[in-house]
Structure 1
Amino acid sequence: MSPQPQAAVGAPLSRVDGRLKVTGQAKYAAEHDVDGAVHAVIVDASIGRGRVTSIDTGAAEEHPGVLRVIHHRNAPKPPYRGNSGSNNPPGRRLRVFQDDRVLFHGQPVAVVVATTLEAAQHGASLVKIGYDAEQPSTDLHGAEPDQPTNYARGDAEAALRDAAVRLDLTYQLARNHHNPMEPHATIARWNGDKLTVWDKTQRVVGTHDELAAVFDLPKASARVINPFVGGAFGSGLRCWPHTVVAAVAARETGRPVKLVLSRRQMYFGTGFRPSYEYRLRLGSSRRGRLTAAVHEMDAETSS
């Protein structure tokens, strides 16, 4: 029996941004023309946990085109006031270039600003960082069991013991990296005490609020522009360290600064879906009424 033709529901609609994208006219974060912009390249930590013990920037600073090398020993100390945004992740807030502590592999430990991208890239390769490395914790089962974010209601263990039917399953999920076509990028420009950034973000309001909080700006003094996103898959839902680094570099040099993460840096410079282990325990009556549920999860984070 041949299938019957199905009528379409509604009418086809053209994407508002479709023509701009397929003709190459859509401008993504790094493609905006900002007069006088210079380039920044991050020097990222080569250890997973420990402290920075030495920074040798001499060769980088002497390289033609390099304007500044910024790190925790010479960087300004922004206020980093609290951000009451509703999408703040649990855990520690990374304050870039504020101290010598390394919390994860790839953490920004310095940034080189230069007149060309090539000069910034080569300058970054000339920065020598010394470390006092510590053993990072890589065991998911080594997590501290009592976290303030843990939630409990009632006596689930007792309900499980009394349940007529019990289910106990464990699932492991591998780490997932987003790697969209457009790498994460920021152009930052200061005009007095007003900050404008062109940023690859899925959540303009969240990035705006975080930048205003980091630099203690009135919200009207911060502006985030992002008309198009070249793929993100969730990796653009936070304000990542490189965005703050670009703003710090722009303020320190007095020039607009463009910072684009390399494809290698996309694996650790922004968020990703970490590896998890879930344990799900359910209890119910014989008729299927749920009487207990325990959902335990261990996941990767920084050290």
Structure 2
Amino acid sequence: MSAATIGPARSRVDGRLKVTGAAKYAVEFTAPKCAYGWTVESNIAKGKITAIDTKAAQAVPGVLAVLTHLNTPKFQSAPKKEGGISSGIRNEERFPLSDDGVHYAGQYVALVVAETIEQARHAASLVKVTYAPEEPLLTMEAAVKKAEQPKKNRDEKVQIKKGDVDAAFKDSGLVKIEQTYLTPTETHNPIEMSGTIAHWESDKNLTLYDATQFVKGVQNIILARSFGLDREAVRIICPFVGGAFGCKGAVWMHVLLAAMGAKVAGVPVKLHVTRRNMFVGTGHRTPTRQTLSLAATRDGKLQAIKHVSETLTSPVGQFTESCGSRSTGLMYESPTIRVEESRRAGRRRA
């Protein structure tokens, strides 16, 4: 294809920094006397924690703190009504380590803070957690009784009705087509794993180096709604993002855990999400079942579209993966359109 068609080649302003390794990503920054965090994750998808034994972990040289729901200070939880997307995205509404409940496989149930990453990882392996497992809902079929049709996904309408779709499909003069499509669970796995360095410069001043696509959203969620801070007292630093696929738009639990661990330990804390935990700790795209029905004249002019979507959502959040409202409801010209979206609360498989 000629340059006249696609335009001349352009150099990215950050290109040289990235290809030479000079670009500095969030967890590559340094903070004075920085410690390291390592998480302990649940190995069940639903249930209760009946006991946590941290004695062996606390005895490891270099360990500064071991946080669980039994000893973590109670921070202020963000309200369910977030005030629109401009105030930040928090798909998990509960605060980490806030109680003994396990809501999905891979949920963080403890955080070890130590002077070195090796000490933190070893100590985390010594934390013993006992569970009372319950039967999880792992598929859309299993969660059928939990289905609901939300009116909105944050500020966007997800149920759309334009004209009389049923009448159009009863018209014998129109050609009708109906097909159901299934898509699987998709996980985010960019080259740069998510990570945070939390540095409390004082009791009321926090600096976060965070791998995020939404700097202001992290600032808004971390400030008064989570730690009782003024907006001006929270600084978020993220000069580069090494890929995201959307998972770095929301504030996930590792961000809050880093800030909590740094507060308790009294030193900056670096918490880098492992590749394994990128599958469970930074969200994912739900499986979907989508049925599309079309009615058109014999010369191909659409007269009706019906798009019915079924998805899963989190048991600790109310996010809707809007399949039809952002596509069928916007992109096609038809005198009648109906978009129906339902979500069911399911859990990640252990």
Call closer, same or farther: CA 1:297–1:282 in 2, change over 3 Å. farther
Instruction: Name the structure 1 match of 2:216.
Output: 205
Instruction: Name the structure 2 match of 1:79.
Output: 76
**CA–CA distance in 1 between the matches of 2:282 and 2:126?**
24
Instruction: Name the structure 2 match of 1:44.
Output: 41
**CA–CA distance in 1 between the matches of 2:163 and 2:7?**
51
Call closer, same or farther: CA 1:14–1:297 in 2, change over 3 Å. same
Call closer, same or farther: CA 1:7–1:232 in 2, change over 3 Å. closer
- Quick check: 280-289 or 66-75, which moved more? 280-289
Paired amino acid for 1:114: A
Task: Report if aligned partners of 2:91, 2:252 keep a CA contact under 8 Å in 1.
Answer: no
TM superposition shift of 1:220 = 1.5
1:271-286 aligned within 5 A: 271-286=283-298
1:179-218 aligned within 5 A: 179-191=189-201, 192-212=203-223, 213-218=225-230
Call closer, same or farther: CA 1:21–1:91 in 2, change over 3 Å. closer
TM superposition shift of 1:286 = 4.9
Instruction: Name the structure 2 match of 1:168.
Output: 178
TM superposition shift of 1:276 = 1.7
1:219-258 aligned within 5 A: 219-258=231-270
**CA–CA distance in 2 between the matches of 1:120 and 1:61?**
10
**CA–CA distance in 2 between the matches of 1:111 and 1:155?**
54
Aligned to 2:85, the other structure's residue is in SS state: coil
- Unaligned 5+ residue runs, structure 2? 152-157, 316-346
Task: Report if aligned partners of 1:275, 1:300 keep a CA contact under 8 Å in 2.
Answer: no
Give the one of 118, 122, 146 matched to 2:148.
146
Instruction: Name the structure 1 match of 2:278.
Output: 266
Aligned to 1:19, the other structure's residue is in SS state: helix
1:10-89 aligned within 5 A: 10-82=7-79, 83-86=82-85
1:298 aligns with 2:311: yes
- Quick check: 15-24 or 34-43, which moved more? 15-24
Task: Report if aligned partners of 2:89, 2:251 keep a CA contact under 8 Å in 1.
Answer: no
**CA–CA distance in 1 between the matches of 2:168 and 2:50?**
52
Normalised to the residue count of structure 1, the TM-score between the two structures is 0.90
Task: Report if aligned partners of 1:159, 1:292 keep a CA contact under 8 Å in 2.
Answer: no
Aligned to 1:153, the other structure's residue is in SS state: strand
Paired amino acid for 1:266: M
Call closer, same or farther: CA 1:186–1:234 in 2, change over 3 Å. same
- Quick check: 146-155 or 106-115, which moved more? 146-155
TM superposition shift of 1:70 = 0.3
Normalised to the residue count of structure 2, the TM-score between the two structures is 0.79
Aligned residues: 299
- Unaligned 5+ residue runs, structure 1? none
